[in-house]
Structure 1
Amino acid sequence: MHNEPLAYRMRPRTIDEVVGQKDVIGPSTALYKMIKSGHVPSMLLYGDPGIGKTSIAHAIAGTSNLPFIALNATTSGKKDVESVVTEARMTGKVLLFLDEIHRFNKLQQDALLPHVESGSIVLIGATTENPFHDVNPAIRSRCGEIKQLKRLTQDDIIELLEKALSDEKRGLGREKIRITKEQVARIAEGTNGDARKALTMLESIVIASDEEDGEYLVDDAIIEQMIKRVGVFGDKRGSHFFNLLSALQKSVRGSDVNAAMYYLAHLLENGDLTAVTRRLLVMAYEDIGLANPAVGGHVLAACQSADRLGLPEARIPLAQAVAEMCLSEKSNSAYRAIDAATAAINKGQVGDIPAHLRDTHYAGSAELGHGGYKYPHDTPIGSFGGWADQDYLPKELKKAEFYKPVVAGEEKKFAGIYEKLKDFRKK
């Protein structure tokens, strides 16, 4: 076995060896053609860990034959950046790969940006965070390409694993390994599109396998043990975490219980219970709303139970809350109404509070013209309770209508009452 990890040894040497990411750097893309013709633009590569950001940077360096320097923004200081600038002055142009670029500090930027702008330094920045949220605008403006990489498909991972098994110089081709296509496919399936994890797992599985006459015998049980150790991808409060929250809410809104359970499980495996319960409470009122008002209380009770129980038991009440929200009637009318009212205020659509609605609990209010309020409870109307015919909005907004009912679930009843009251006002 080699000293360097298999994932390190199997990095592509040129862009033609890159596995996956065909939409970003495949032979038909503009980026591929530019690099092949000798022009390498500064760029940002954005995506989850293990999907090829570092590999693509190395492949571009190998294809372009530019002097290559790799730094990590979390550990590099101003002196490291100055060394890159010195190298660029001496050689004419260098390719700088900067990992974790969203952690780039101002001193590093000030030393580097003019040289990136002049083209003496070609910058390839890699980040797991959304560059439009977390990368400094000064950096973004100097990167002509911002490429979001996707997680590799199972077929991509299988291709990568088969290359590693057959490559005699960099891979495991010199070793005698008895492994089936089904086992390779299971490794690919269990690593969730992460090339680095897949290669690391393959190497670990081979090392952990029994030997017989100099041949490694890969066993299904060892594969399953290793897959359980892989875990989920994404970290707390990273871009992927917020994408999971967004996917959970949209799955509930779309009434897909299976998808919602998948994203809930993923979020809980990341361990941030507080963020999950906050989002579930918002969803109860934003997406279920008046169609099933009882859901708000149910979700609150589930969240309080989850907080008291803690993980892993917290998953049980939360799963019940998510299932109920998925299968409940849905309305966003109240949420849209408050947003419409807020938008009107921000546009300057305001007016004076009608005199009969103003505070009269002090001496002298009558002298100011306050008063004349009709107490609705004094005039019952059918089984509704009380209602009085008087204006409540400022006269400038008398005809404004922010609430538009959704005829679903319990809101059918509210919608009927709303329309009847509108008729009363017209009369």
Structure 2
Amino acid sequence: MQHPLAYRMRPRNLEEVVGQQHLVGPGKIIKRMVQARLLSSMILYGPPGTGKTSIASAIAGSTKYAFRQLNAATDSKKELQIVAEEAKMSGTVVLLLDEIHRLDKTKQDFLLPLLESGEIILIGATTENPYITINPAIRSRTQIFEVYPLTPHDIQTALLRALKDKERGLGNYQVHLTSEALELFTTATAGDLRSSLNGLELAVKSTPSDENQTINIDLKTAEESIQKKTLSADKNGDGHYDVISAFQKSIRGSDTDAALHYLARLLEAGDLKSIIRRLLVTAYEDIGLANPSVCQRTVAACQVADNVGLPEARIPLADVVIELCLSPKSNSGINAIDAALNDIRSGKSGQIPNSLKDTHYKGAQKLQRGQNYHYPHNYPNDWIAQQYLPNQLQGTQYYQPKTNGKYEQALKKTYDRLYQLQNKERGHHDD
């Protein structure tokens, strides 16, 4: 059985690695490790098909160490023991451990002393954030390097190399690839080189040659041979939460086009629930009192989106994202409640004034509950100065109004006037 093209074209040394030049380029850290033969265990973290296995294979090839590959989820401790025995007999082994975030405690405990002694150079590969998913005992003994989706230029370099390589690639086929087909292969997989290479191989091997023994790959053939990927296909992956974060921050920063871009990623992933939740939070956290009416329209748009579902939900969602981006912003509401919560959690609460305490039970009068309470509606303008905060918190201002929107400008005027009147009256009482 012949291995897939992506497997056959794995780099034999660091010079053959495409992309990830921040790690393997001249003068960069992994390149320096290999040149100095001072390898340390590492975790490579990033999306599928971006070169984690390739880098591990290239490190082994460049150093001439034995290279073994296991999966933390499916391979047992026995397979680890076999690798350990090989390392004891023949020297250092470079072990690529896929899905290292799924390494259980038994396998971890077996590996740790081997990492300490240097018998095994562990290269863990994961698509999950290692700072969240990987045990601290493993993290403390490894360096963590993030790998990024490959650029179309990186993928094109690898595809053209595979088309020319007669030993491992498709060089023994006479292939004519149109520029449109090449562009699709380089852009349709969201930086996943493995998918691009395997799509190219399927196109070449499933397309009959013409009378000149040439295999012609046009755009239609390419489209039928490759599975397109979106940048946010995994609703539970770490990258998905990065998109959600970028979505809210783009709205907060009033960048309409960026917000629409991240909305499109989330829509393509089909995660309507996350979009709705994030928009509702964003409306009240970042726009809030600067424009309460747009908060209400956000609620309405989210209800419509939820009712109609995808793909039509994209219409009200796009409208409200544009409006949120272009609205004045204020976070005074969240700042106010967080300041109040901080006082409560740090023990600043105090006794509720007797005048405000409940009086709807027998004996309340004997306890002086509700005495000296002034019912505001009995006074001009339905207001009278009296104490509401506990003694130790009198004069505290949790709400710090902002003036980006006309609505909150009006709130600020009222708040400032009432605060001054209330505290002026308190000053008379203090005297």
Q: Does 1:291 align with 2:290?
A: yes
| Pairing partner for 2:401 from 399, 405, 419 | 405
Superposed counterparts of 1:409-424, under 5 Å: 409=405, 410-424=407-421
The CA distance in 2 between the partners of 1:105 and 1:35, in whole Å, is 29
The CA distance in 1 between the partners of 2:287 and 2:88, in whole Å, is 61
Deviation at 1:57, TM superposition (A): 0.8
In the superposition, relative to structure 1, how do residues 71 and 406 fare at CA in structure 2: closer, same or farther (>3 Å)? same
Is the 2:232–2:240 contact (alpha carbons within 8 Å) kept by the matching residues of 1?
Answer: no
Q: Deviations over 1:180-208 (max 9, x none)?
A: 45643443233322211221222233335
In the superposition, relative to structure 1, how do residues 190 and 388 fare at CA in structure 2: closer, same or farther (>3 Å)? same
Is the 1:197–1:230 contact (alpha carbons within 8 Å) kept by the matching residues of 2?
Answer: no
Partner of 2:166: 168
Q: Deviations over 1:74-132 (max 9, x none)?
A: 21222222333333333343221111111111121122222222322211111111111
Superposed counterparts of 1:10-409, under 5 Å: 10-143=9-142, 145-181=143-179, 183-209=181-207, 211-212=209-210, 213-226=212-225, 229-371=228-370, 372-381=372-381, 386-409=382-405
The CA distance in 1 between the partners of 2:93 and 2:295, in whole Å, is 58
In the superposition, relative to structure 1, how do residues 83 and 374 fare at CA in structure 2: closer, same or farther (>3 Å)? farther
In the superposition, relative to structure 1, how do residues 50 and 363 fare at CA in structure 2: closer, same or farther (>3 Å)? same
The CA distance in 1 between the partners of 2:355 and 2:87, in whole Å, is 76
For 2:215, give the aligned amino acid: Y
2:85 is paired with a residue whose SS is helix
Deviation at 1:331, TM superposition (A): 1.2
Is the 1:303–1:317 contact (alpha carbons within 8 Å) kept by the matching residues of 2?
Answer: yes
The CA distance in 2 between the partners of 1:9 and 1:74, in whole Å, is 24
Q: Deviations over 1:45-76 (max 9, x none)?
A: 11111111111111111112222221111212
5+ unaligned residues in a row in structure 1: which ranges? Answer: none
Q: RMSD between aligned alpha carbons? A: 2.1
The CA distance in 1 between the partners of 2:388 and 2:279, in whole Å, is 34
Is the 1:26–1:32 contact (alpha carbons within 8 Å) kept by the matching residues of 2?
Answer: yes
Is the 2:232–2:243 contact (alpha carbons within 8 Å) kept by the matching residues of 1?
Answer: no
1:211 is paired with a residue whose SS is coil
1:420 is paired with a residue whose SS is helix
The CA distance in 2 between the partners of 1:257 and 1:90, in whole Å, is 61
Deviation at 1:18, TM superposition (A): 0.9
5+ unaligned residues in a row in structure 2: which ranges? Answer: 425-431
Q: Deviations over 1:214-256 (max 9, x none)?
A: 1011212333455673444541111011111111111111222
1:311 is paired with a residue whose SS is coil
Deviation at 1:280, TM superposition (A): 1.5
For 1:393, give the aligned amino acid: L
Is the 1:290–1:334 contact (alpha carbons within 8 Å) kept by the matching residues of 2?
Answer: yes
1:229 is paired with a residue whose SS is coil
Give the aligned length: 421
Is the 1:288–1:328 contact (alpha carbons within 8 Å) kept by the matching residues of 2?
Answer: yes
In the superposition, relative to structure 1, how do residues 325 and 108 fare at CA in structure 2: closer, same or farther (>3 Å)? same
The CA distance in 2 between the partners of 1:192 and 1:301, in whole Å, is 34
Is the 1:210–1:218 contact (alpha carbons within 8 Å) kept by the matching residues of 2?
Answer: no
The CA distance in 2 between the partners of 1:380 and 1:201, in whole Å, is 79
The CA distance in 2 between the partners of 1:195 and 1:423, in whole Å, is 66
For 1:424, give the aligned amino acid: L
Q: TM-score by structure 2 length?
A: 0.91
Is the 2:96–2:124 contact (alpha carbons within 8 Å) kept by the matching residues of 1?
Answer: yes
For 2:415, give the aligned amino acid: Y
The CA distance in 1 between the partners of 2:231 and 2:216, in whole Å, is 28
For 1:146, give the aligned amino acid: I
Is the 1:40–1:64 contact (alpha carbons within 8 Å) kept by the matching residues of 2?
Answer: no
Q: Deviations over 1:278-330 (max 9, x none)?
A: 12211111111111212333222222333332322332332233222222222
Deviation at 1:134, TM superposition (A): 0.9
Is the 2:189–2:228 contact (alpha carbons within 8 Å) kept by the matching residues of 1?
Answer: no
1:125 is paired with a residue whose SS is strand
* Paired-residue identity, %: 49
For 1:343, give the aligned amino acid: N
The CA distance in 2 between the partners of 1:261 and 1:166, in whole Å, is 40
In the superposition, relative to structure 1, how do residues 265 and 44 fare at CA in structure 2: closer, same or farther (>3 Å)? same
The CA distance in 2 between the partners of 1:388 and 1:224, in whole Å, is 74
For 1:194, give the aligned amino acid: D
